[in-house]
């Protein structure tokens, strides 16, 4: 968790806003999709259960209608006056004969024609009844159609009074029955005793045959789910109707591996199985036959609609996510763009472009922040300008103070030297010293100009050195080698003199033997380098730092003069210019003055 927090804190604000928005939207869409999936699945399953129950009710109604119709046909046939007359006449003609002595009065052609005419109105193609068999009171099955009378005799016997029919049509279970021209077929049979309406005598029995495929056609038309199956079971759980004819006569549990729990309810629905083998089982009891109508639908077929809904959810979710990406990107960009602009402005200022300002204008919080930043930078720039002006004024004051210190001090020392030379009757040397002093002051005044040419500064420094050599001839000699190319370069007045004075008094004068002071000047690219070298006692590293840096409370005149020259150059030409000092104790000191190459006329 700590690592994630560190990673999250390290990414940009834009990515934080963008990723947070996307994460929230993804979680919201995923939660909504999951909720919609659960709700839709529940609704679809409930719909499937209701549809199955409704289908079973419709099948029940149609099946009962079919059975009632067949029973009605059996009643109509049993009460038909022509059939009753034929069977009654046969009953009368053979009433005195034994069962083995009957003469088969119905074998004559006219009677067969009569029965065929009666039966033809209630069999295919006029109705769903496949065929009809007629049993006379004299134990004779009449051959009047497709039914095989010998097979009927084996199934139903030859005595119409043997079974208790309660004078109502009786529906048998599914059976294999042989037809004369089509072979065996699966049928249901409805039998009805024929009672003579006048005498009340049982004169025969009629049996109507309905094929199982007629029953199956009822629910095949009602199927809403592909892959689903309907079954009709008898009271013992045997399959008596199914789309799969191979499962007929088999136990339902054995054929389908589905066990139907006992229930007192007329309708029942439940799920059985796991995974892809899971199925919805719906049952409906068909009274008064005590049959059961069973619907078995694979869960995959039920959830096909849910898959379509899921695909719709995925498409809508993807579209929403794409829209969220676009909106989040635009939102994060609209928030972070002015921040990045302000950040770029800050980087520009950090690299030295102090005049850079943020151009973003708005009335929102970021716009207010930009205005405050711009106002702050304006104020800082004003303060910097004031500070620069103060530093410039301070440097001017220090430089003027240096000049005021140098000139009277130099004048006093030079006059002392001239007086000494006169006393020693060295008039020529005294005149020379006076001449050098005049040259020094002539150039140092320079009509009030603070910027002079390097040629003039060299002449001023040479006059100073000639006078100093008259005073300290025993321990100092000097040389000057300045390239003519840089003689026209501009330089601040009295730049070399404080450094030369420092070299004499703190370098050469402290040496026990005669020393050398050498001044050289050259051009390097767009810069001018002037080296002032002495082989005096040298300077410590800490002293060098104090010479170039302003130390609070320091009253050393040495560092004051050198530091004033250093600050003056940096103020006039920039921080890349100024003094560089190299020294080794007991060996040497070299001061390098770095100046831009600018002819004096440009100043």
Query: Taking a C-beta distance cutoff of 8 angstroms, is the pair 475, 515 a contact?
Result: yes
Query: Taking a C-beta distance cutoff of 8 angstroms, is the pair 442, 600 a contact?
Result: no
pLDDT tens sequence across 532-573: 999 988 888 888 877 776 543 444 444 567 888 888 888 888
pLDDT for 104 beyond 50: no
pLDDT for 149 beyond 90: no
pLDDT of the residue at 327: 80
Pairing state between β 515-524 and 476-482: parallel
Greater pLDDT, 589 or 94? 589
φ, ψ of residue 144 to 5 degrees: the values are -125, 10
Strands (E), 261-394: 267-272, 279-286, 291-298
Lowest mean pLDDT of 35-44, 158-167, 203-212, 277-286, name the range. 158-167
pLDDT of the residue at 106: 44
pLDDT of the residue at 532: 95
Mean pLDDT of the chain: 80
Location of each CATH 3.30.450.20 domain in the chain: 79-216, 223-302
> In which band, very low, low, confident or very high, does the pLDDT at 392 lie, cut at 50, 70 and 90?
low
pLDDT of the residue at 113: 78
Where is mean pLDDT largest: 203-217, 310-324, 342-356?
203-217
What span, in angstroms and rounded, lies between the C-alpha atoms of 360 and 96? 127
pLDDT of the residue at 400: 57
Greater pLDDT, 331 or 528? 528
> In which band, very low, low, confident or very high, does the pLDDT at 333 lie, cut at 50, 70 and 90?
confident
What percent of the chain clears pLDDT 70, i.e. is strictly above it? 85
Lowest mean pLDDT of 66-80, 96-110, 403-417, name the range. 96-110
Q: Which residues are CB-neighbours of 470 under 8 A, at least 6 positions away? A: 417, 421, 429, 432, 433
pLDDT for 150 beyond 80: yes
Q: How far is CA 296 from the centre of its chain?
A: 43
Q: Domain 384-602: which CATH class?
A: alpha beta
Where is mean pLDDT largest: 22-26, 112-116, 117-121, 279-283?
279-283
> In which band, very low, low, confident or very high, does the pLDDT at 531 lie, cut at 50, 70 and 90?
very high
What span, in angstroms and rounded, lies between the C-alpha atoms of 176 and 354? 108
pLDDT of the residue at 513: 84
pLDDT of the residue at 100: 46
pLDDT of the residue at 554: 46
- Secondary structure string (H, E, C) spanning 220-251: HCCCCCCCCEEEEECCCCEEEEECCHHHCCCE
Greater pLDDT, 241 or 140? 241
> In which band, very low, low, confident or very high, does the pLDDT at 306 lie, cut at 50, 70 and 90?
low
What span, in angstroms and rounded, lies between the C-alpha atoms of 449 and 493? 8
pLDDT tens sequence across 12-22: 666 777 777 77
Whole-angstrom Cα Rg for the chain: 64
pLDDT of the residue at 494: 83
pLDDT tens sequence across 37-59: 788 778 777 887 888 888 888 88
pTM of the model: 0.52
Lowest mean pLDDT of 184-193, 236-245, 310-319, 454-463, name the range. 310-319
Nearest alpha carbon to residue 62 among 186, 244, 217, 172: 217
pLDDT of the residue at 579: 93
Q: Which residues are CB-neighbours of 589 under 8 A, at least 6 positions away? A: 503, 507, 533, 534, 536, 538, 539, 581, 582, 583
Could you give the dihedral angle defined by the CA atoms of residues 398, 399, 404 and 407, in that order, rounded to the nearest 10 degrees?
140
Greater pLDDT, 452 or 158? 452
Q: Which CATH number fits domain 223-302: 3.30.565.10, 3.40.640.10, 3.50.30.50, 3.30.450.20?
A: 3.30.450.20
Lowest mean pLDDT of 126-140, 149-163, 281-295, 554-568, name the range. 554-568
Q: Which residues are CB-neighbours of 192 under 8 A, at least 6 positions away? A: 71, 74, 75, 77, 78, 165, 168, 169, 170, 205, 206, 207, 208
Tell me which H or E stretch contains 451. strand 451-453
pLDDT tens sequence across 501-518: 888 888 888 887 888 999
> How many C-alpha atoms does 534 have within 13 Å on its Cβ side?
29
State the burial class of residue 83 (Cβ atoms within 10 Å of its Cβ: 0-12, 13-18, 19+).
buried
pLDDT of the residue at 433: 80
What span, in angstroms and rounded, lies between the C-alpha atoms of 48 and 39? 14
CATH number of 79-216: 3.30.450.20
pLDDT tens sequence across 75-88: 888 888 888 888 88
Tokens of 419: 């007086």
φ, ψ of residue 209 to 5 degrees: the values are -110, 130
């Amino acid at each position: 968790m700590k690592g994630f927090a560190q990673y999250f804190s390290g990414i940009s604000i834009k990515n934080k806003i963008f990723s947070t928005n996307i994460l929230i939207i993804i979680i919201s869409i995923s939660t909504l999709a999951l909720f919609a999936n659960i709700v839709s699945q529940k609704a679809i399953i409930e719909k499937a259960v209701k549809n199955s129950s409704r289908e079973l009710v419709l099948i029940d109604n149609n099946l009962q209608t079919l059975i009632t119709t067949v029973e009605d046909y059996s009643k109509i046939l049993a009460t038909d006056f022509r059939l009753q007359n034929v069977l009654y006449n046969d009953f009368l003609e053979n009433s005195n004969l034994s069962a083995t002595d009957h003469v088969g009065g119905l074998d004559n052609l006219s009677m067969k024609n009569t029965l065929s005419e009666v039966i033809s109105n209630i069999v295919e193609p006029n109705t769903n009844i496949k065929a009809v068999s007629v049993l006379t009171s004299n134990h004779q099955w009449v051959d009047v159609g497709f039914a095989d009378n010998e097979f009927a005799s084996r199934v139903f016997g030859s005595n119409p009074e043997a079974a208790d029919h309660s004078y109502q049509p009786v529906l048998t279970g599914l059976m294999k029955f042989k037809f004369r021209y089509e072979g065996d077929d699966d049928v249901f049979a409805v039998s009805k005793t024929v009672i003579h309406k006048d005498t009340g005598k049982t004169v025969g029995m009629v049996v109507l045959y309905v094929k199982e495929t007629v029953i199956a056609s009822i629910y095949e038309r009602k199927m809403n789910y592909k892959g689903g199956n309907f079954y009709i079971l008898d009271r013992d759980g045997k399959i008596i109707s199914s789309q799969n004819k191979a499962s007929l006569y088999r136990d339902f549990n054995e054929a389908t591996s589905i066990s139907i729990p006992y229930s007192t309810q007329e309708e029942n629905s439940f799920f059985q199985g796991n995974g892809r083998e899971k199925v919805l089982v719906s049952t409906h009891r068909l009274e008064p036959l005590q049959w059961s109508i069973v619907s078995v639908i694979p869960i995959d077929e039920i959830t096909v609609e849910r898959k379509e809904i899921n695909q719709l959810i995925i498409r809508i979710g993807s579209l929403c996510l794409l829209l969220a990406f676009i909106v989040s990107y635009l939102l994060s960009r609209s928030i972070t763009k002015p921040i990045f602009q302000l950040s770029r402005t800050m980087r520009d200022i950090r690299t030295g472009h102090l005049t850079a300002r943020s151009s973003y204008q708005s009335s929102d919080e970021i716009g207010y922040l930009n205005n405050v930043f711009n106002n702050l930078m304006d104020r800082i720039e004003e303060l910097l300008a004031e500070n620069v002006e103060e530093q410039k004024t301070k440097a001017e004051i220090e430089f003027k103070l240096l000049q005021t210190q140098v000139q009277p001090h130099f004048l006093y020392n030079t006059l002392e030297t001239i007086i000494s030379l006169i006393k020693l009757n060295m008039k020529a040397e005294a005149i020379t010293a006076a001449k050098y002093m005049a040259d020094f002051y002539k150039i140092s005044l320079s009509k009030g100009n603070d910027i002079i040419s390097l040629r003039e500064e060299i002449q001023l420094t040479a006059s100073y050195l000639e006078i100093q050599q008259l005073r300290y001839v025993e321990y100092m000699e000097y040389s000057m080698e300045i390239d003519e190319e840089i003689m026209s370069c501009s330089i601040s007045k009295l730049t070399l003199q404080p450094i030369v004075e420092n070299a004499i008094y703190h370098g050469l004068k402290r040496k026990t033997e005669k020393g050398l002071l050498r001044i050289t000047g050259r051009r390097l690219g767009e810069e001018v380098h002037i080296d002032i070298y002495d082989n005096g006692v040298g300077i410590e590293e800490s002293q060098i730092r104090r010479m170039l840096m302003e130390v609070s409370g320091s009253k050393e005149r040495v560092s004051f003069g050198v530091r004033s020259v250093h600050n003056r150059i940096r103020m006039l030409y920039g921080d890349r210019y100024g003094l560089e000092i190299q020294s080794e104790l007991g060996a040497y000191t070299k001061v390098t003055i770095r100046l831009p190459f600018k002819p004096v006329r440009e100043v």
